[in-house]
Homo-oligomer: A and B are copies of this chain.
Amino acid sequence: KRARDYGLRLGVVPAGPLNAITDVPGVRVGQITLQQGTSVRTGVTAIIPHTGNLFQQKCPAAIYIGNGFGKLTGISQVDELGTLETPIILTNTLSVPTAADALIDYTLSQPGNEQVRSVNAVVGETNDGYLNDIRGRHVTKQHVLDALRQATTGPVAEGNVGAGTGTVCFGFKGGIGTASRKLPASLGGYTVGALVQTNFGGVLQIAGVPVGVELGKYSYKENLDGSCMMVVITDAPLDARNLKRLAKRAFMGLAQTGGIASNGSGDYVIAVSTAYQIPHESKSPFDEQKVLRNDNVSPLFMAAIEATEEAIINSLFMAQTMTGDQNHNIEALPVDRVVDLLKKAGVIK
């Protein structure tokens, strides 16, 4: 069960109907989970922002780097041009090149892209090398293409799936998590969805309750390091500049869970708007954009903070104990005990 199913409410903005990144119309997610033998514990998560040809109809996008000890590809072109031209792939650290190569395959082979000679593949990762035989690089291009092909709207699988299959978060089993927020009509009615791949350390707190300390597992007591990939998509009409600001707020959501962005952390946020597209080619020399004024972005900032926070918590609630490479074992968050703690603190009635 997800955090909200236990009665947990994080923040003040209401969630969307699925409480998932797929609450943003058109967004699809596909995941391939590789769990083979005793040592393969990894996978692929694909996020596709809209149903068209993404290369020909690019999305405004931005990337914020919380802590840059990571291998996210595609950063500089998104920064320079303010657009995303491929789906986003998440996988493990050493499989980033494979996934990027697959994204190139995917893009080159799409109808309409016969003349494309340059593709800015965006691939994020965290390091699942504790539970997964990461040096074996078990992710293939086909896995990535399969994740893209299977991508669908609707509910998103969480926990030990896709790129989150083998990850560890706050010393417990992490994974994929998602959540969303939907602003009321008076604030534009926009949806902000988050999807995270959690693999980081710190002092876990849930709705402020110091769960990590209570359970005796936290940075400072022991060395919990690692990374978090965050994807934030909104149907609000933001340009790249304000998407970068939105992305930074997702990182604040990570901070809310007690994340510390330790030295070894690769904490990245990719923020995308689906409100309008920027065509690869155009007869007009102009892009005509109707974008939200700076004055109106703060509620979206709140939505991004909250959706990211809840997505991280969901990844923990939904993950399950796993044994993997070298017989390494990581326990799931003991949800019953956590719920007790949350009840004692009055956070869950």
Which residues of chain B come closer than 8 Å to A292, judged between CB atoms? 285-287
A80 & B67 in contact (Cβ 8 Å cutoff): yes
SS of A interface (majority):
mixed
CA distance A274 to B18 in the complex (A): 45
Mark the stretch among A26-34, A152-160, A167-175, A213-221 that contacts chain B.
Answer: A213-221
Instruction: Say yes or no: is A73 at the interface (Cβ < 8 Å to chain B).
Output: yes
List CB contacts (< 8 Å) of A114-135 with chain B: 116-121, 127, 129, 134-135
A301 & B210 in contact (Cβ 8 Å cutoff): no
Min C-beta distance of A183 to chain B, whole Å: 9
Instruction: Say yes or no: is A290 at the interface (Cβ < 8 Å to chain B).
Output: yes
| 19 extra A-B contacts, CB within 8 A, seeds A71-B74, A94-B119 | A12-B220, A12-B221, A68-B79, A68-B80, A69-B80, A71-B120, A82-B241, A117-B129, A118-B129, A202-B302, A240-B241, A252-B261, A260-B298, A261-B301, A262-B301, A263-B297, A284-B293, A285-B292, A345-B346
A287 & B291 in contact (Cβ 8 Å cutoff): yes
List CB contacts (< 8 Å) of A191-213 with chain B: 202-203, 205, 207-210, 213
A118 & B98 in contact (Cβ 8 Å cutoff): no
Chain A, 57-80, contact with B by CB distance < 8 Å: what is the 0/1 string?
A: 000000001111111111111011
Which residues of chain B come closer than 8 Å to A207, judged between CB atoms? 208, 210
The verdict on A298 contacting B262 (CB below 8 Å), with A67-B245, A291-B287, A292-B286 known, is yes
> Could you list which residues of chain A lie within 8 angstroms of chain B, going by C-beta atoms?
11-13, 65-77, 79-82, 93-94, 96-98, 100-101, 104, 108, 116-121, 127, 129, 134-135, 137, 188, 202-203, 205, 207-210, 213, 218-221, 223, 225, 237, 239-241, 245, 248-249, 251-253, 255-256, 259-264, 266, 268, 278, 282, 284-299, 301-302, 305, 344-347
In the complex, the count of this chain's copies comes to: 4
Which residues of chain B come closer than 8 Å to A255, judged between CB atoms? 251-253, 255-256, 305
CA distance A57 to B288 in the complex (A): 20
Instruction: List 30 A-B residue pairs with CB atoms under 8 Å apart, sorted by A's residue number.
Output: A12-B203, A12-B213, A12-B220, A65-B76, A65-B80, A69-B76, A71-B120, A71-B121, A75-B76, A80-B245, A94-B108, A97-B100, A97-B121, A101-B101, A118-B127, A207-B208, A207-B210, A208-B209, A208-B210, A219-B302, A225-B298, A249-B260, A249-B261, A255-B305, A263-B297, A263-B298, A264-B298, A278-B293, A286-B292, A345-B347
